[in-house]
Amino acid sequence: MPFIEKLLDRADVEWKALGEVCGFKNGFAFKSSRFKEEGLPIIRITNIDGRNVDLSDVKYFDPEDYTRGNPLNYSIVKGDVLIAMSGATTGKIGYYDLSETAYLNQRVGKFEPNEGILNNRFLYHFLLTKADFIYVLAGGGAQPNLSSNKLKAQLQIPIPCPNDPERSLQIQQEIVRILDTFTELTAELTAELTARQKQYAYYRERLLSFETTNDTKGTNVVWKALGDKSIGEFTRGGGLQKKDFTESGVGCIHYGQVYTHYGTYTYETKSFVSEEFAKKARMAKHGDLIIATTSENDEDLCKAVAWLGDEDIAVSSDACFYTHTLNPKYVAYYFQTEQFHKQKRPFITGAKVRRVNADNLAKIKIPVPSPEEQARIVSILDKFDTLTTSISEGLPREIELREKQYEYYRDLLLSFPNTDHERHERHEN
């Protein structure tokens, strides 16, 4: 017998339209021209991340700027469940978990469940299973736009024991308790990962920021331009495009993959080209650094991956590779530091598409300690890198497993039968 059947213990389940058990409130039409850098926080569709409310890019307002309408009537408090109503985020849900009161912008909706019938947190978990349905309901496509009236009429909510509200809420609360156990564990792991990432960044900056010609242990450190002939040279990538990929053959790295697929270093490539194509391609060797010289944002620009495989690989245009005499991982880690990015910024060109050419990269300076010191620094940073970025081990893997576990039990606990026939059929099986 399915778990949900045991929990219900033969109780009825009635599917009700959202509007029957839950009110709904749309946001206020705040004017972007009146956004402030401080004041009362505004929750926009970009703040709804599909699970929570992200305030990393929040805007503010001053109530005195509005003489028509009252934006203070559109407040949200801790525990409110929100939904994005238009654009690319349509259908995404956000749970507001902060103690500070905030205010809804237009095209963000707030659910107002009837507390005597529907548990707010139960509604939240259930809505997470309906993102695809809601997106289609909004029209899908490039410019979806969700109608609150259509949402209230067509989204169906399962209500266990509809004739016994007390027991119904007990069942809902038990489901919430189980699912919240998983979300709390994921939140704890994510918080730990964030702390480790900050720790990683701190030690990376400390280990790779040599302020004098000698470090604290007296090790000689020389600052050299990356293009100094004594340590390395840059080679621009060739005409490799995605259409040139093959199922197998000679390994290759396309510039876009550097910041979407690879980490600090790799021993194998995601893609391949034919041996015939490789004969005319520009090839990187073991130890070379593959660098994306084109990006849509400055942060990803010049992201680099050290190639540690044994075979030569093809490199695309809009990328270059750096052949050098240094520890490959040491150079790759240095490309992640603020010291490197500070030197990179003056060389960035372009508006929508941002670029740094190989000639300017060659002018950036790098601290060059002894090979032994480079290896020591790499061994320390490798431990942090594995813990914070590895998908097969470390915290990201643990978080991924907990997410899958949550989704499994969420689907199991919220798979209520939608007809009496289906419920009895499941019971018999």
Question: CA 76, CA 100: separation in Å to the nearest integer?
Answer: 9
Domain that holds residue 269: 222-368
* pLDDT for the residue 423: 39
In this model, does residue 387 exceed pLDDT 90?
no
What pLDDT, on the 0 to 100 scale, is given for residue 191? 84
Residue closest to 291 by CA, chosen among 247, 241, 233, 248: 233
Is the Cβ–Cβ distance between 297 and 354 less than 8 Å?
Answer: yes
Report yes or no on 284 lying in a domain. yes
> Quick check: 307 and 287 in contact, CB under 8 A?
yes
Q: What is the pLDDT of residue 420?
A: 45
Q: Look at residue 419 and tell me whether its pLDDT is greater than 60.
A: no
Pair 364, 422 in one domain? no
What percent of the chain has pLDDT above 70? 91
* Within-domain flag for 374: no
Separation of alpha carbons 358 and 319, rounded Å: 9
Q: How many domains would you assign to the chain?
A: 2
- Find the CATH number of the domain harbouring 363: 3.90.220.20
Residue 256 lies in a domain: yes
Average pLDDT of the residues in 187-210: 85
How far apart CA 307 and CA 283 sit, in angstroms, is: 11
Co-location of 245 and 301 in the same domain: yes
- Are 176 and 249 contained in the same domain? no
Please determine, for residue 56, whether its predicted confidence score (pLDDT) is greater than 90: no
Residue 46 in contact with residue 89, Cβ under 8 Å?
A: yes
Residue 217 lies in a domain: no
pLDDT at position 8 is: 65
258 with 149, same domain: the answer is no
User: Minimal CA–CA distance to 210: which of 330, 301, 322?
Assistant: 330
Mean pLDDT is lowest, of 184-193, 207-216, 277-286, 389-398, for 207-216
**What's the pLDDT at 215?**
44
One domain, residues 156 and 246: no
* Shared domain check, 36 and 140: yes
Q: Would you give the DSSP letter of residue 324?
A: E
- Tell me the CA distances in angstroms from 83 to 48, 180, 213, one per residue in order: 7, 20, 56
Question: What is the model's pTM?
Answer: 0.62
For 253-274, letters b (16+ CB in 10 Å) and e give: bbbbbbbeebebbbeebebbbe
Q: Look at residue 214 and tell me if it is in a domain.
A: no
Above 80 in pLDDT, residue 105? yes
Model confidence at 214, pLDDT cuts 50, 70, 90, reads: very low
Residues 150 and 246 in one domain: no
Instruction: Judge whether residue 41 has pLDDT over 60.
Output: yes
Q: Is the pLDDT of residue 421 over 70?
A: no
Is the domain of 161 the same as that of 285?
Answer: no
> Where does the pLDDT of residue 10 fall: very low under 50, low under 70, confident under 90, or very high at 90 and above?
low
392 inside domain? no
Indicate whether 345 pLDDT > 70. yes
Residue 277 lies in a domain: yes
Residue 392 confidence (pLDDT) above 80: no
